[in-house]
Amino acid sequence: MSTFKVKQSEYLPVAWEYVEIIEKFVRNQKEGKVFFFDEKGDVGETFGKIMGIEDRKNEGMFIELDRGVSIRIDRIITLFGKIGAAYDLYNAYADACMDCLGGYEKDEL
């Protein structure tokens, strides 16, 4: 989908608000699209219903989707249109300076 890559890292605890949002989606059986950073650091996407949250020892917390997909919650960019814990990391790429040349080559300036 995208050429933007983020190095896979150890699990980073997320703010309680993100966990509450996920728990609400589990209770409401909401279904939708999830954008996330995959194991390779690429932006991935999937669609489904969150069946639950699993806390895996030495790995972190994961959402489990009805399609058999597990996503670490600190790698979620957006969850059903809501901002996820990794959104700021993704957005930083869009806000980054492009070598301070505004996208031009040096010989074009």
Using one digit for the tens of pLDDT, what is the confidence trace for 54-63? Answer: 999 988 999 9
Give CA separation, 1 vs 10, 75, 85, in Å.
24, 16, 20
pLDDT of residue 106: 64
Question: Taking the alpha carbons of 78, 83, 89, 92 in that order, is the dihedral positive or negative?
Answer: positive
CATH of residue 41's domain is 2.30.30
Confidence grade of residue 90 (pLDDT, cut at 50, 70, 90): confident
* Domain-embedded: residue 4: no
Range of the domain at 21: 16-94
* Domain-embedded: residue 10: no
* Domain-embedded: residue 68: yes
Instruction: Give how many domains the chain has, as a whole number.
Output: 1
pLDDT of residue 85: 92
* Domain-embedded: residue 89: yes
